[in-house]
Amino acid sequence: MASGEKFPNHPIRLVSFELRFPIRRRVATRRVWDAFEAMFGSELPVVELLVREDDETQLPASPNEPVLRLSTAERDRVVTLRYGALTVEMTTYISYEDLRSCIGAAVDALESIPATLGIVRLGLRYINELQVPSIRGLIGDWRPYVHPSLLAALDDPPPELLPSWVQGGLGFHSRDGGEHTYLAHGPLPRSSVEPDGVLQLKNIDGPCYLLDIDSFLSGPAKAPIATTRKEVLDVVDRLHDSVETVFEWSITEKLRDEVLRSEARDIGDVESESSEADSV
Evaluate if residue 55 carries a pLDDT over 80.
Answer: no
Phi-psi sector, 206: left (phi>0), alpha (psi -120 to 50), beta: left
- Domains in the chain, number: 1
pLDDT of residue 101: 97
Q: Which residues span the domain enclosing 179?
A: 1-280
pTM: 0.89
Measure Cα distances from 119 to 137, 218, 233 in Å. 43, 9, 12
Distance CA 91, CA 87 (A): 13
As a whole-number percent, the residues of the chain with pLDDT over 70 amount to 88
pLDDT band at 31 (very low <50, low <70, confident <90, very high): confident
Measure Cα distances from 206 to 24, 47, 115, 148, 174 in Å. 44, 35, 47, 22, 35
213-242 pLDDT per residue, tens: 999 999 876 788 998 899 999 999 999 999
pLDDT of residue 70: 96
Q: What angle do CA 70, 184, 95 make, to 5 degrees?
A: 45
143-172 pLDDT per residue, tens: 999 999 999 988 888 888 888 889 999 999
Short-list 170, 95, 125, 112, CA closest to 19: 125
